[in-house]
Amino acid sequence: MTDHRELSAGLRAAVRGEVDFTATARALTTMDASNYRRVPLGVVAPRDADDVAAALSVCRAYGVPVVPRGGGTSIAGQATGTGVVLDFTRHMNRLLSLDPQARTAVVQPGLVLDRLQEAAAPHGLRFGPDPSTHSRCTLGGMIGNNSCGSHSVAWGTTADSVRELAVVTPGGERLRPGRGGAGAPAGLRDLVDGELARLRTGFPDLPRRISGYAVDALLPEKGADVARSLCGSEGTLAVLTEAVVDLVRAPRARALAVLAYADERGAAQAAAGLLPYRPLTVEGMAADLVPFGADLPRGGAWLFVETGGDTEAEARAGAETIVRAADVLDSLVVTDPARQRALWRVREDASGTATRMPDGTEAWPGWEDCAVPPARLGAYLRDFRALMADHGLRGTPYGHFGDGCIHVRIDFDLLTAPGVARFRRFSEELADLVVAHGGSLSGEHGDGRARAELLPRMYGAETVALFERVKALWDPDDLLNPGMLVRPAPLDAGLRFSVLPREPVDVAFGYPADGGDFPAAVRRCVGVAKCRTTSVSGPAVMCPSFRATGEEQHSTRGRARLLHEMLAGELVTDGWRSTEVRDALDLCLSCKGCRSDCPVGVDMATYKAEFLYHHYAGRRRPAAHHTMGRLPEWLGWVGRTRSAGAVNALASVGPLADVAKRLGGIAGEREIPRVAGETFTRWWRGRGGPLGEGKPVVLWPDTFTEHLSPSVGRAAVRVLEAAGLRVVLPPTLRLTGRPVGDARSRSALSLLTARRGRVCCGLTYISTGRLDRARTVLRRTLDLLEPVLATDAPLVVLEPSCAAALRTDAPELLHDDPRAARLAARVLTFAETLERHAPDWTPPVLDRPVTGQTHCHQHAVLGEDPDRRLRAAAGLTGDLAGGCCGLAGNFGFEKGHYEVSRACAEDRLLPSVREAPEGAVVLADGFSCRTQLEQLAGVRGRHLAEVLAAALENT
């Protein structure tokens, strides 16, 4: 039995990169994007090929397996292992060179595909294969799995783009496999010469044959290509340290033809007929995977067919030719790049959205990418659907129809023994069906744990025995990724769900989308790792802490993995008291970006609040949870005692402020915001309350508007009244001069008047995990708002984070109180209010550009379209940046968070302001965003209401 401490010490002495045997490092690599889980001993992040060789030498001495790992997005389980995981993403992640004339690049295995594409683009070049995970998958992983992507009909698989590899064998030999037999281990040529007949006849001729080892690439008539034969070997033969890859000429212009069909079978039958027109893509998907409101032509299934050309006109002409040749219900041709990207996002997100059926039922990979000859795809889908029906299963196929490759997530029951048994029976029968149609069990993502056991059904026992001989030549000690491809583990063993608790977990939130089941909420993360994307265009937010740190534990996926292991109790053994989970969640900004940007809707902000609630139950909390978590209470006291001046004066005295920050757990680099001398509601009372006779709208006096930015509230009143609306505050709501509602409502109104200003969304309590207090505050708020809920008056909330808390957190936390859902339905943003309740009002026209950032909660929960339309009507041109400002309420003020907070701001917000045109209006609807701009850039951001109010004053 291996002594883990000796192994760890041996690795630390031998390699210069990081060696991490902690529970956190192990938990983060127990899973990839598959159904499988294997617990490693530790993780090594090698710095170079010497480190790789040294790590292999130590592991060989201890008899410990080694698993190379890239982005961890493999869908068949091959990026998991029980030994030592080699993580190439930390150091061996560079583009070493790019030769535009030769159209080649030299890359390290941890290089993310998008980084290569960005470097090649200025030369008019690109790497041909592009999986939907292109923003986070690595070249090493792509070579290991022989990945393909949507453009494979034009540019083939990764193997078609590999010229030469540099590898370290398990025995420590360094080879450079290439063409003409270069870099082959001893004995490989003799093996090929002895099996020529089998190699020439035993491998299906398919564009997407990924299953098994590509031993037929070693045939002399195929160039004896050793590098190609290693593609798709799933890290089982040698460890890649470098690759020379071919690049292709990218078309200068592209057009996207979206062809609509009645159903998926119609689309599948049509796909092969489009190949003679030499399209760049022929992708297919059905209506079940399309989000509501997607801009697609009418139909039940679609083909996305991309064409290229030197000019837009040429690309469009190619697309229109395909439209004319296709027999479709409807069609759409798009040449605008932004609109094309939006449409492609619908397709790319299918790998995540497919994990939930339309009724919310979970669906899983396992048969993610079978491939058949393209001409047989329609018939195969018919038989595939029939087989699912026979087993009582459901799934929605989509994928690379032009290559006959189908992705599908199926609603397997992988939680019970009968469900797992059905999974096995279905897998065996589907393997036979794929073979009957002349197909490959894997058409893109490899065999891994999911399909390797079934390879004899595709190849026969003798060819599988040949694979074992190949493995023995490269890896005689079975050191590399054992259990994959040859001598595999059973396909129904090691499922990641088996370790999760079967009994309900007692939680505070309702988790309505997961049936109240916290483990089901955690299971949402299937590992597609969109949260690991480092370059994002457009409004996306997720995941700011990963983008700032580059560390897996600070990604949404990493945190979900740790929560999974917390529930499993094997690696993370302290349950809710876990320090590993606490530390990973510490840098979660609760931006809620994952709620919208994650394809499966993981909501880490809610999971964090839940964890903090349990973690600190009956324990001493950090000081920041009291200073900032109870902010409404402290500011309420300042407002009641009219002591803002004294508080501001004390905060301006450096030594006193330093002491206060130290005691309060506040970052020393931060300035304490000034409290307003006059609260918003005091100003409101001084002006005499509501004016006008228009439709009443209730303006929510959130803590930030009330005490820190009352100018925003005053501006909103000015604009809403100019739009013909009658603004009231919750304590004084009247309709036509009379109290609203019945006697009970009038009684509640009296209480509300007596408790003026005490309505609260509970945001600060939720973000610090004080959920009992948040419930109390929200229930009191609901009691006070009964007169409002008895009317049809909307609630206008100016602070996006408060609006998001009322719209989502309140009904999920008070899932037993129907009033919370009624309140949530009333919440409107400033722009939504004007659009819905003053549709004929025309704002003043400013004719100025804008800069700044859409609030992360606005993006994730509330929606941005009304704001865009209002800005456009006001002549405010340009788009706001995405991302997160990095302050995120209490996060950026907490001690130890300042550098990450600044890094988040430098990601998108601060550059967008620096690069803005002269005279641009800096928009920032959130108090946190405005504070971050002021403290880090010396720039004053303004709420949209303030900008419009100022324009009204000048007209």
pLDDT, tens digit, for every residue of 156-184? 999 999 999 999 999 999 999 999 999 99
Angle between helices 604-615 and 771-784 (to 10 degrees): 110
Q: Is the pLDDT of residue 749 over 90?
A: no
Quickly state the pLDDT bin for 756 (edges 50, 70, 90).
Answer: very low
Quickly state the pLDDT bin for 691 (edges 50, 70, 90).
Answer: confident
pLDDT, tens digit, for every residue of 360-402? 788 898 887 899 999 999 999 999 999 999 999 998 888 899 9
Quickly state the pLDDT bin for 693 (edges 50, 70, 90).
Answer: confident
Q: Is 76 helix (H, G, I), strand (E, B) or coil?
A: coil
Are β-strands 239-246 and 795-796 bridged in parallel, bridged antiparallel, or unpaired? unpaired
Q: What is the pLDDT of residue 352?
A: 57
Q: Is the pLDDT of residue 207 over 50?
A: yes
User: What average pLDDT does the segment 738-758 reach?
Assistant: 40
**Mean pLDDT rounded to a whole number for the chain:** 93
User: What average pLDDT does the segment 440-464 reach?
Assistant: 96
- Kindly state the percentage of the chain with pLDDT values over 70: 96
Which residue intervals of 285-412 are DSSP H helices? 312-325, 337-348, 350-353, 377-390
List Cβ neighbours of 221 (8 Å cut-off, separation of 6 or more).
Answer: none
Stretch (H or E) spanning 72: none
Residues 659, 756 contacting (CB under 8 angstroms)? no
Q: What is the pLDDT of residue 742?
A: 41
**Rounded (to 5) percent helix, strand, coil in the chain:** 45, 15, 40
Tokens 């939720």 appear where? Answer: 766
Q: What is the CATH number of domain 100-249?
A: 3.30.465.10
User: What average pLDDT does the segment 352-363 reach?
Assistant: 72
Q: Is 356 helix (H, G, I), strand (E, B) or coil?
A: strand
Q: What is the pLDDT of residue 286?
A: 86
Gap between the Cα atoms of 584 and 661, Å rounded: 24
Q: Write out the two tokens for 519.
A: 């483990």
**Which of 520, 700, 502, 701 is CA-nearest to residue 607?**
520
Q: What is the pLDDT of residue 738?
A: 41
Sign of CA dihedral 189, 195, 199, 200: positive
Stretch (H or E) spanning 464: helix 461-474
pLDDT, tens digit, for every residue of 773-827? 999 999 999 999 999 999 999 999 999 999 999 999 999 999 999 999 999 999 9
Residues 173, 185 contacting (CB under 8 angstroms)? yes
Q: Report whether CATH 3.40.50.150 matches the domain 253-444.
A: no
Max CA pair span of the chain: 98
List Cβ neighbours of 437 (8 Å cut-off, separation of 6 or more).
Answer: 372, 373, 376, 379, 380, 383
List Cβ neighbours of 684 (8 Å cut-off, separation of 6 or more).
Answer: 713, 717, 729
Residues 917, 899 contacting (CB under 8 angstroms)? no
Name the CA dihedral angle for 565, 571, 574, 580, rounded to a multiple of 10 degrees.
-70
Gap between the Cα atoms of 419 and 363, Å rounded: 13
**Which of 55, 246, 213 is CA-nearest to residue 145?**
213
Q: What is the pLDDT of residue 535?
A: 77
DSSP category for residue 896: T
| Per-residue H/E/C for 434-447 | HHHCCCECCCCCCC
Residues 236, 471 contacting (CB under 8 angstroms)? yes
Sign of CA dihedral 756, 757, 763, 769: negative
Gap between the Cα atoms of 146 and 440, Å rounded: 14
Q: What is the pLDDT of residue 733?
A: 38
Which range has the worst mean pLDDT, 53-62, 196-205, 360-369?
Answer: 360-369
The answer to whether the predicted template modeling score (pTM) of the entire model surpasses 0.85 is: yes
Gap between the Cα atoms of 924 and 709, Å rounded: 12
**Which of 353, 98, 118 is CA-nearest to residue 246?**
98
Q: What is the pLDDT of residue 278?
A: 95
pLDDT, tens digit, for every residue of 113-163? 999 999 999 999 999 999 989 999 999 999 999 999 999 999 999 999 999
User: What average pLDDT does the segment 282-287 reach?
Assistant: 90
**Which of 446, 426, 266, 301 is CA-nearest to residue 369?**
446
Tokens 């001989």 appear where? Answer: 469
Q: Is the pLDDT of residue 192 over 70?
A: yes
Q: Is the pLDDT of residue 895 over 60?
A: yes
Measured in whole angstroms, how far is the alpha carbon of residue 328 from the centre of its chain? 34
pLDDT, tens digit, for every residue of 765-782? 999 999 999 999 999 999
Q: What is the pLDDT of residue 351?
A: 56
Q: What is the pLDDT of residue 347?
A: 74
Q: What is the pLDDT of residue 342?
A: 86
Residues 598, 543 contacting (CB under 8 angstroms)? no
pLDDT, tens digit, for every residue of 473-522? 999 999 999 999 999 999 999 999 999 998 889 999 999 999 999 999 99
**Which of 330, 336, 265, 334 is CA-nearest to residue 305?**
334
pLDDT, tens digit, for every residue of 826-847? 999 999 999 999 999 999 999 9
* Pick among 3.40.190.180, 3.90.1150.10, 3.40.718.10, 3.30.43.10: CATH of 4-87: 3.30.43.10
